[in-house]
């Protein structure tokens, strides 16, 4: 390993803004099992499927309608 490196010609990562951020989220086992079952059909990892589904909801502007039972 060198003692010094020259980064004067280095370029910034153009994809850095698009990197995913790791978060912790609690999901019910049924939800995880559902997306894992889709993995066998699509070949896409279940975490990516959940991300794609949430992205689709966000782009479509879908809102969750909640009604509380008394």
Examine residue 2 and state whether it is found in any structural domain, yes or no.
Answer: no
Examine residue 41 and state whether it is found in any structural domain, yes or no.
Answer: yes
Q: Are 32 and 46 in contact (CB under 8 A)?
A: yes
Task: Give the domain range for residue 45.
Answer: 32-58
Examine residue 52 and state whether it is found in any structural domain, yes or no.
Answer: yes
Residue 12 has pLDDT above 90, yes or no: no
Q: Given this model, what pLDDT does residue 69 score? A: 84
**Section 6-31 average pLDDT:** 89
Residue 24 has pLDDT above 90, yes or no: yes
> Residue 56 and residue 38: Cα distance in Å, rounded?
16
Examine residue 48 and state whether it is found in any structural domain, yes or no.
Answer: yes
Q: How many domains does the chain have?
A: 1
For residue 53, what are the CA distances in angstroms to 14, 30, 66? 25, 16, 19
Residue 45 has pLDDT above 90, yes or no: yes
Examine residue 1 and state whether it is found in any structural domain, yes or no.
Answer: no
Examine residue 45 and state whether it is found in any structural domain, yes or no.
Answer: yes
Q: Are 39 and 46 in contact (CB under 8 A)?
A: yes
Examine residue 53 and state whether it is found in any structural domain, yes or no.
Answer: yes
User: Which one is predicted more confidently, 70 or 42?
Assistant: 42
């Amino acid at each position: 390993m060198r003692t010094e490196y020259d980064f004067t010609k280095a370029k910034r990562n153009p994809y850095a803004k698009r990197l995913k951020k790791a978060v912790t989220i609690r999901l019910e086992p049924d939800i995880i099992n559902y997306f894992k079952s889709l993995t066998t059909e699509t070949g896409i990892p279940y975490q990516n499927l959940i991300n794609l589904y949430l992205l689709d909801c966000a782009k479509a502007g879908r809102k969750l309608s909640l009604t509380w039972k008394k």
